[in-house]
């Protein structure tokens, strides 16, 4: 069995060592142009040349939850595209969202500003029932975030492409129920996969449907947000602010207005990082199952983009 590692932005050696330990029977190498055929590949944003040279690849294992970079390429017709189910990312995502939510709800950002200015102040406590949290995307990550938010007794709404039922979550589905979902939401959390249908889904029209004083938390993809629509909605008072981890262009350009806006909190695409050991264990298990002719979870439907 031969496996190629073809991942931009990842140091190869630690991954190769971990994969070789988990799959001692396999020959595992970094792909280089002109290399011979392999059975499987571990990838992150591979070039089209890799896919063109390896049409016999049985499965591509993407070391991340988002597969939008791969779905934009021309994949071999018989190759399965497999995403990580979780691999330690869902709890990180839950931490990030809950931190951003509570920081906003408890107004800790205002307290920090006051303390930095030498001001001893108090804020009137706010009611959780006045801050329903709407989660767009109810996959593995979205469901984990929903459970974390529920633990702090916020009302939780959920929206997904297909109908779902989650305990304690008021669920909405499809385009027909999208406006109703937004109207029931004060804090909007985006955990959607990036597809042509979801690109730009957070824009002036949709964000205007949020309850007055709404707040946006984007931990999915930067292209979900029409960036030029956000600041006018904040400056008008309809939105109270935003916590953003992802952007259309990364790193964010130095002159971008998000840097200077006092009501936008930013982090550098670090809400949930790929954990190597957990990822390798999952990939190795799935390769073993495929080699035995068994089914696996996480196979991407190219027609849906996730």
Query: In the prediction, which pLDDT does 239 show?
Result: 98
**Same domain, yes or no: 17 and 154:** no
Please give the Cα distance from 228 to 234 (Å, whole number): 11
Residue 299 within any structural domain of the chain:
no
* CATH number (domain holding residue 98): 3.40.50.720
- Residue 175 exposed, middle or buried by CB count within 10 Å (0-12, 13-18, 19+): exposed
Residue 257 within any structural domain of the chain:
yes
Query: In the prediction, which pLDDT does 9 show?
Result: 80
Host domain of residue 188: 90-266
**Same domain, yes or no: 148 and 256:** yes
**Same domain, yes or no: 27 and 145:** no
∠ CA 215-156-165, rounded to 5°:
135
DSSP secondary structure letter of residue 155: -
Identify the band that residue 197 occupies on the pLDDT scale cut at 50, 70 and 90.
very high
**Same domain, yes or no: 213 and 74:** no
Residue 217 within any structural domain of the chain:
yes
**Same domain, yes or no: 32 and 122:** no
Residue 240 within any structural domain of the chain:
yes
Encode pLDDT of 215-237 as tens digits.
Answer: 999 999 999 999 999 999 999 99
Identify the band that residue 290 occupies on the pLDDT scale cut at 50, 70 and 90.
very high
Per the DSSP assignment, residues forming a β-bridge with 242 are 216, 264
Query: In the prediction, which pLDDT does 249 show?
Result: 97
pLDDT of 252 > 80? The answer is yes
pTM value? 0.91
**Same domain, yes or no: 109 and 256:** yes
pLDDT of 262 > 90? The answer is yes
**Same domain, yes or no: 122 and 170:** yes
Name the residues annotated as catalytic: 221, 269
**Same domain, yes or no: 262 and 127:** yes
**Same domain, yes or no: 24 and 108:** no
CA quadruple 119, 121, 127, 132: dihedral, nearest 10? 0
The helix or strand, by DSSP H or E, that contains position 169, with its residue range, turns out to be: strand 169-173
Q: What are phi and psi of 223, to 5 degrees?
A: -70, -10
Please give the Cα distance from 120 to 260 (Å, whole number): 25
> In total, how many domains does the chain have?
2
**Same domain, yes or no: 135 and 230:** yes
């Amino acid at each position: 069995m031969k496996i190629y590692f073809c991942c931009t932005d990842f140091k190869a050696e630690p991954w190769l060592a971990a994969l070789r330990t988990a799959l001692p029977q396999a020959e595992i190498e970094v792909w280089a142009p002109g290399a011979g055929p392999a059975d499987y590949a571990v990838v992150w944003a591979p070039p089209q040349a890799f896919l063109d040279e390896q049409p016999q690849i049985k499965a591509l294992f993407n070391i991340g939850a988002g597969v939008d970079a791969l779905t934009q390429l021309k994949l071999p017709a018989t190759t399965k595209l497999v995403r990580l189910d979780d691999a330690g990312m869902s709890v990180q995502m839950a931490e990030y969202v809950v931190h951003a939510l509570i920081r906003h709800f408890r107004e800790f950002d205002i307290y920090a500003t006051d303390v930095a200015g030498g001001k001893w102040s108090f804020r009137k406590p706010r009611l959780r029932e006045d801050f329903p949290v709407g989660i767009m995307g109810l996959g593995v990550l979205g469901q984990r975030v929903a459970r974390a938010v529920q633990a702090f007794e916020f009302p939780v709404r959920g929206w997904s492409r297909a109908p779902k039922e989650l305990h304690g979550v008021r669920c909405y589905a499809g385009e027909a129920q999208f406006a109703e979902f937004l109207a029931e939401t004060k804090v909007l959390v985006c955990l959607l996969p990036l597809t042509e249908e979801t690109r730009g889904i957070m824009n002036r029209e949709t964000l205007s449907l949020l309850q007055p004083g709404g707040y946006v938390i984007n931990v999915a993809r930067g292209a979900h947000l029409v960036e030029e629509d956000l600041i006018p909605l904040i400056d008008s008072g309809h939105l109270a602010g935003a916590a953003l981890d992802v952007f259309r262009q990364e790193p964010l350009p130095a002159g971008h207005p998000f840097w200077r806006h006092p009501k936008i909190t930013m982090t550098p695409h670090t809400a949930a990082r790929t954990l190597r050991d957990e990822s390798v264990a999952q990939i190795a298990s799935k390769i073993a199952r495929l080699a035995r002719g068994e089914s696996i979870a996480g196979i991407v439907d190219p027609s849906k983009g996730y």
